Amino acid sequence: MRSETGKKSEDAGHAEPKTLEADVRRTVEKGEDIQENVRRLTLTALGGEPLDLEILRRTMSAVVDGARDGIQQQIQETTAQAEMSRAKISQAVAGLDSALAQFAEASKLAMEEAAGQARKFSDEELARTRDGLEGLERLFLDTLQGSASTADGQVGDALRDLAQHMERNGTAVGGQIKDALETVGRQITTVGLIPFESGIKLAVASSDLIRKIATGVITAMIDPDKPDHSPKKSDD
């Protein structure tokens, strides 16, 4: 059965950082299905957004700060409650990591879908996507460290320990980025192989088209039990 937080997850769409932060805080305080609910909340917030590092930074900060605030009081009580709080924030960060990995996967699948519609990509679009993917894991780890630096006592220690553990052992999003960058690399090679006046006329895959496809993929990831969310192929 889905939790109340999970039930509220509709199609992917924009969520204000403060709203997201409050939702994550309540999820962590409640303590039920934290990883899954944070994953859903994050993907819902990112749905329809471009692969833009500033937007991603705000979303990550909202999630991490919400999780941090959700354990702030409990972690200062008994030893047993402190350990429970550490487990809660670990689950929340794992949910964020999973959501970012799926966001990277959606970007990759959107490019593959657009290429399957006989569309080419502009140099600018490919460079923007590559740069966004390359910076995503570092931004995630920096966000954890940044939130830790502004937190007091055991909360800050918990976040620093998580960041250091992920730095050493890797993240889910880092693994997915490698796969996504291979797709971008293939498209860059393809663009370079098509002469400018070769007579091959391919429709350009715009940012809006790629975002539309990615939104459909993300919506399916949020609620995989729903019927087909994928956008229909465009004739444009």
Q: How far apart are CA 225 and CA 231, in angstroms?
A: 17
Confidence band for 15, pLDDT divided at 50, 70 and 90? low
> Which pair of structure tokens corresponds to residue 152?
């007091």
CA dist., res. 176 & res. 174, Å (int): 5
Distance CA 157, CA 195 (A): 55
- The pLDDT of residue 41 is 96
For the chain, domain boundaries? 4-222
Sequence-separated (6 or more) residues with CB below 8 Å from residue 205: 111, 114, 115, 117, 119, 120, 121, 125
Segment of 24-38, 100-114, 129-143, 221-235 carrying the highest mean pLDDT: 24-38
Three-state DSSP state, 77: coil
Greater confidence (194 vs 21) lies with 21
Question: Residue 234 pLDDT > 80, yes or no?
Answer: no
pLDDT at 31: 94
| 186 Cα distance to chain centroid | 23
Please say if the pLDDT value at position 201 is more than 50: no
Q: Which of 12-16, 22-26, 107-111, 147-151 is the least confident region?
A: 12-16
The per-residue pLDDT for range 145-179, each reduced to its tens digit, is: 999 999 888 899 999 999 999 999 999 999 999 98
pLDDT in tens, 210-224: 777 778 888 888 877
Distances (CA, A) of 139 to 152, 213, 233: 22, 24, 33
> Residue type for 135, please?
G
Residue 49 pLDDT grade (very low, low, confident, very high; cuts 50, 70, 90): confident
pLDDT at 13 over 70: no
**Could you tell me if residue 199 is left (phi over 0), alpha (psi between -120 and 50 degrees) or otherwise beta?**
left
What per-residue confidence (pLDDT) applies to 232? 47
Closest CA to 103 of 145, 136, 143, 57: 136
Listed in sequence order, the residues at least 6 apart from 164 whose beta carbon sits closer than 8 Å to its beta carbon are none
For the four alpha carbons of 28, 31, 32 and 35, in that order, the dihedral sign comes to positive
Show the tokens assigned to 50. 């471009």
Which pLDDT does position 199 carry in this prediction?
39
What pLDDT is recorded for position 142? 96
More confident residue, 127 or 134: 134
